[in-house]
């Protein structure tokens, strides 16, 4: 018999998943598939790498003023961004949105590292096979998928899982701070992406492009390809005086678990 206290906690997490993604029965981890969707997922794996997704997240929230999407580790090999819609959109529209984000921010990465939902691609790497419950324990392991806060996302680059059972109320608390995106906001982002993608990477916005001498306009520490991992990215953000102080402080906090030798260049 489930105690009243436990039932309240479970209802809170289920309620947040329903509020953001329209997933009333999601906690049962039985998968999900329909023609229209309120959840859009973009995943980077093999390896998981927050530094690449962090640029996308920052542009989406800080540059375009959109509601912050959720961040999740999949419990296996990838890190995900979960976008929420206030009203369902067709799967084809959702996929167009994700493909535009991919072209804009992840175009230089191998295709087998990027997955998305909804997708018309084979289900071996995309589609409903990507859309599994969070939080959940991966079969045959003690690894859990989990929603994580942005300041901790970089910590999971090498091991995109949590190795202890999740406290459902804490997961609900992370989701409670988020809001869904309206259709008007989705259309606005698509307009921005269509405009920049049509210009090509060389003419893209300053937060993505590189100078002709190879340095990055955001921080002057070298092009994206020279970052060795999340630690160096966080170090660059922390030292980027063009960013708000709050952003730099959060980067510094996320950098704390890394030894100085991992991020401080000669």
- What pLDDT was estimated at residue 216? 39
Q: What value does the CA radius of gyration of the chain take, rounded to a whole number of Å?
A: 18
Contacting residues for 86 by C-beta, under 8 A, at least 6 apart: 38, 180, 181, 182, 183
Distance, in Å, from the CA atom of 231 to the CA atom of 204, rounded to the nearest integer, reads 25
Q: Residue 10 has which token pair? A: 């479970």
- What pLDDT was estimated at residue 243? 67
36 pLDDT above the threshold of 90? no
User: 12-16, 44-48, 92-96, 236-240 — which is least confidently predicted?
Assistant: 236-240
Q: Are the CB atoms for 97 and 185 separated by under 8 Å?
A: no
Distance, in Å, from the CA atom of 222 to the CA atom of 171, rounded to the nearest integer, reads 36
Domain ranges of the chain: 4-199, 210-266
Global pTM reads: 0.69
Question: Does 9 or 157 have the greater pLDDT score?
Answer: 157
64 pLDDT above the threshold of 50? yes
Question: Does 218 or 9 have the greater pLDDT score?
Answer: 9
**Sheet with 114-117, edge to edge strand ranges:** 114-117, 36-45, 78-90, 70-73, 144-148, 136-137
E strand or H helix that includes residue 233: helix 230-238
**Ramachandran bin of 221, using left for φ above 0, alpha for ψ from -120 to 50, beta for the remaining angles:** alpha
182 pLDDT above the threshold of 50? yes
* Residue 212: band (very low, low, confident or very high) from pLDDT cuts 50, 70, 90: very low
Distance, in Å, from the CA atom of 77 to the CA atom of 115, rounded to the nearest integer, reads 12
Q: Are the CB atoms for 102 and 42 separated by under 8 Å?
A: yes
- What pLDDT was estimated at residue 201? 45
- What pLDDT was estimated at residue 197? 82
């Amino acid at each position: 018999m489930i105690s009243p206290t436990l039932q309240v906690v479970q209802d809170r997490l289920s309620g947040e998943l329903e509020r953001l993604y329209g997933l009333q029965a999601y906690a049962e981890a039985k998968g999900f598939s329909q023609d229209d969707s309120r959840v859009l997922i973009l995943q980077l794996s093999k390896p998981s790498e927050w530094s690449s997704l962090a640029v996308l997240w920052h542009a989406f929230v800080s540059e375009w003023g959109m509601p912050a999407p959720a961040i999740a580790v999949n419990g296996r090999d990838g890190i995900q961004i979960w976008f929420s819609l206030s009203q369902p959109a067709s799967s084809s529209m959702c996929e167009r949105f994700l493909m535009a984000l991919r072209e804009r921010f992840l175009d230089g990465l191998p295709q087998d590292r990027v997955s998305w939902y909804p997708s018309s691609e084979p289900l071996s790497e995309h589609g409903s096979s990507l859309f599994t419950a969070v939080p959940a324990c991966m079969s045959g392991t003690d690894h859990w998928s989990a929603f994580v806060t942005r300041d901790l996302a970089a910590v999971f680059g090498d091991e995109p899982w949590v190795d202890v059972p999740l406290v459902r109320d804490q997961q609900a608390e992370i989701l409670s701070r988020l809001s869904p995106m309206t259709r008007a906001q989705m259309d606005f982002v698509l307009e921005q992406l269509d405009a920049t993608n049509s210009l090509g990477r060389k003419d893209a916005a300053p937060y993505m492009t590189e100078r002709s001498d190879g340095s990055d306009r955001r921080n002057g520490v070298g092009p994206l390809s020279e970052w060795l991992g999340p630690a160096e990215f966080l170090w660059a953000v922390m030292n980027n005086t063009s960013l708000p102080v709050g952003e730099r402080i959060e980067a510094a906090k996320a950098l704390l678990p890394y030894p100085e030798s991992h991020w401080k260049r000669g």
